[in-house]
Amino acid sequence: SAESALRRGGNGPSARRLFSSISAPDRKVAVLGAAGGIGQPLALLMKLNPLVSSLALYDIAGTPGVAADVSHINTRAKVAGYAGEEQLGEALEGSDVVIIPAGVPRKPGMTRDDLFNINAGIVKSLCTAIAKYCPNAVVNMISNPVNSTVPIASEVFKKAGTYDERKLFGVTTLDVVRAKTFYAGKANIPAADVNVPVVGGHAGITILPLFSQATPASNDLSHEDINALTKRTQDGGTEVVEAKAGKGSATLSMAYAGAIFADACLKGLNGTPDIVECSFVQSSITELPFFASKVRLGKNGVEEVLGLGPLSDYEKEGLENLKPELKASIEKGIKFANQN
Ligand code: NAI
């Protein structure tokens, strides 16, 4: 048995295999859009995650090469590439977590909403397939505009009769990653020690970092500093789009953020306690039907949507200012899903 193998104190491969199968159950992760700028480094990072036993890499083209490449890394996950719609079902079947970075990214001068016309259709068709082939999977939506693509996904799942609001997440982790980095830099604190909740949505002013709740607290930051940090977090994506000058948007930092969030979902599914991340989810903490805030993750996805906590006056104002735009983006997604 596993116990006797452990009692024998064996460090050989069989004891290790038994041990890892006790601590980490089999989990299949599918990445849709896996040949893209985000998809490739995200595939790499998921291959490095010991919680993943099977990694399915799907794209309309290019995934056999990415899969062959990543599959040579000597970690636990078995990797398979799937290219073209006829292989989508096989890619999805049995998935515990589906990560979606499929779709076009921004070019300089574009807002995330400018991507709506192309990405809404892509997300709709991918979610239709998820409802069919892995209706119980946790979905991590990266494709922009997240403020609309998450509502689209919810409507597709509702129509298919598979919607579980606990299992649909808009990935806003990159906003948190940026807020932490910028705050740490300004406050002169090691970045790895910092925590900053980011709430609202994932576009421009709908991104609301709560620096008043940042830990460790810093008393050195002026109102101007907080204002500048808030703006930089909100415009972080645009900073990258402009620096890449037409060659796309954030891919490496996004892959990192996506891997952090997927890892949190896997830990939640596996029953690891106290896994909390910010995410854009179905919510009743404001009057809006979807909202990003801290979420406790568990065996069924969202275990608890946590409230906003005490806000500064500046944050209260930011919260009221973001609501009309976020509401409109949510409604746009819902309308699209029901018209097309
Ligand atoms: P990319 O263009 O480099 O890659 C996108 C991939 O999606 C391509 O390989 C393409 O073939 C694939 N694709 C297109 N239609 C597909 C379909 N129907 N099924 C499967 N795959 C399909 O773009 P990148 O830079 O990887 O960005 C992807 C998305 O992520 C964009 O919508 C971008 O705006 C979004 N994004 C989201 C962030 C967030 O914080 N949530 C941050 C950065 C980007």
Residue nearest (by alpha carbon) to ligand 1 atom 38: 142
Distance CA(61)–CA(70), nearest Å, equals 16
ipTM for this model = 0.99
Average pLDDT over residues 113-138: 97
- pLDDT at residue 16 above 70? no
- pLDDT at residue 217 above 50? yes
Pocket mutation for ligand 1, best pick of 57, 100, 104 (most atoms within 8 Å of C-beta): 104
pLDDT band at 22 (very low <50, low <70, confident <90, very high): low
Indicate if ligand 1 lies below 6 Å from the C-beta of 142: yes
- For residue 291, the SS3 value is strand
In this predicted model, which residue has the larger pLDDT, 10 or 141? 141
Indicate if ligand 1 lies below 6 Å from the C-beta of 201: no
Q: What pLDDT is attached to residue 6?
A: 45
Average pLDDT over residues 245-256: 96
Distance CA(258)–CA(2), nearest Å, equals 33
Greatest Cα-to-Cα distance within the chain, rounded to the nearest angstrom? 63
The model's pTM is 0.94
Ligand 1 centroid–CA 83 distance in Å is 15
Pocket mutation for ligand 1, best pick of 116, 142, 173 (most atoms within 8 Å of C-beta): 142
Indicate if ligand 1 lies below 6 Å from the C-beta of 38: yes
223 classed as catalytic? no
pLDDT digit string, tens, across residues 160-177: 999 999 999 999 999 999
pLDDT digit string, tens, across residues 29-65: 999 999 999 999 999 999 999 999 999 999 999 999 9
- pLDDT at residue 8 above 60? no
